[in-house]
Amino acid sequence: MPRPVRILAFGDNVVDCYRDQNVMYPGGNCVNHAVFARRAGAETAYAGAVCDDAAGRLIRQSLIDEGVDVSFLRMEQGQTAYCVIENQDGDRVFVGANLSVSIIAPRASDLARLQDFDAVHTGRSSHVDAWLPHFSGKTRVSYDFATIHDADRIAQVAPHCFLLAFSGGGLSRDEALSLASLAHAQGATWSLVTRGQEGALLVGPRGVHEEPAQPVEAIDTLGAGDTFIASVLVGLLEERQPRELLSRAAQAAAQTCLMRGAFGHGAPMAIDLSNMMSLEEIYRTTRPAAVPAET
């Protein structure tokens, strides 16, 4: 049998704090991706930074329990990153956060091991755009732009990407198709737009492919988009047909909506929220990971 595809998720992590329930869950785009790609059949590893506190230990142990390689995980001084979430009618609303130690640059040892993986996944929340040429020189790149649809940013990132994904819950079909087509035209081999209850749209070398959402009575939609993206990436790397891999991704995303937290593993909330920042403040003040030296 062929070996499973191998994916490294590099970058952001948080514990998602549900204040009304006094529970925290491991999460963050790259942590979620490592777990969901593993559940989709890939061998995965996670590279990021946490602290030796209750939140950091929860993230590390949940990754281990899910079968994710944590040999890239760094333990730093300080406080593990967190995000505060409220649930409104089964949908998530982000209240505030502190990214703390989670924004890191890759080490030389990280870059040296990239060639052992079929793809590396990262995204706008990881703030490592300057490193994308280094990533793409060694393996395929999967990148999650989330709600960023800026054409100039797309033009900078797309040429390095095997898969470029967007969250487009508020977009019409025509708008989603235009966004995916732009990313593909700018250099991304495949471009995916997830649209929540409206399903998803994938553009690539084989044209345009669409998939409706699987209807469920959602408990919590946190992590559904990450599930879809991770499943699509695994399917593309396995060279599955677009119709098959999109159907699998829709089913996996629907299952994620039936649990609390992105992928479970809840624990009593043990976070000092006194340094919480608004999302606007975070986006305004966060600095990218250290830029690589010119070679």
CATH number of the domain where residue 172 is located: 3.40.1190.20
Q: Over 50: is that where the pLDDT of 207 sits? A: yes
Model confidence pLDDT, tens digit, residues 223-239: 999 999 999 999 999 99
Backbone angles phi, psi at 64, to 5 degrees: -60, -45
pLDDT tens digits, one per residue of 15-24: 999 988 999 9
Query: Residue 295: pLDDT above 50?
Result: no
> For position 32, what pLDDT does the model report?
98
280 pLDDT higher than 90:
no
Specify whether the CB–CB gap between 32 and 223 falls below 8 A.
Answer: yes
Position with higher pLDDT, 216 vs 283:
216
In a domain, 292, yes or no: no
Whole domain around residue 129: which residue ranges? 6-285
Residue 20 has a pLDDT of 87
Residue 133 lies in a domain: yes
pLDDT at residue 110, rounded to an integer: 96
Distance CA 86, CA 279 (A): 14
Record the pTM: 0.95
User: Quick check: is 204 in a domain?
Assistant: yes
> Has residue 290 been placed in a domain?
no
| Domain contains 1 | no
Distance CA 219, CA 216 (A): 9
Please give the single-letter amino acid code of residue 188.
A
Of residues 142 and 285, the one with the higher pLDDT is 142
Using the predicted structure, report yes or no on whether residue 82 has a pLDDT greater than 90: yes
* Strand (E) or helix (H) holding 49: strand 49-51
pLDDT at 286 over 80: yes
Taking each helix axis as running N to C, give the angle between helix 54-65 and helix 29-39, from 0 to 180 degrees, rounded to the nearest 10. Answer: 20
Q: Are strands 119-123 and 140-144 parallel, antiparallel or unpaired?
A: parallel
- pLDDT tens digits along 248-272: 999 999 999 999 999 999 999 999 9
Has residue 295 been placed in a domain?
no
What is the per-residue pLDDT for 212? Answer: 94
92 pLDDT more than 80: no
CA 40 to chain centre: 14
How many domains would you assign to the chain?
1
Residues near 140 by beta carbon (within 8 Å), at least 6 away in sequence: 118, 119, 120, 162, 163, 237
Q: Is the pLDDT of residue 139 over 70?
A: yes
**Range from 187-191, 253-257, 284-288 carrying the lowest mean pLDDT:** 284-288
CA 286 to chain centre: 18
| Percent of the chain's residues with pLDDT above 90 | 86
178 confidence band (pLDDT: 50, 70, 90): very high
Let me know if residue 294 belongs to a domain.
no
In a domain? residue 223:
yes
Distance CA 214, CA 142 (A): 24
DSSP string, 183-219: HHHTT-SEEEEE-GGG-EEEEETTEEEEEPPPP---S
pLDDT number for residue 294: 60
Band (pLDDT 50/70/90 cuts) for residue 283 is confident
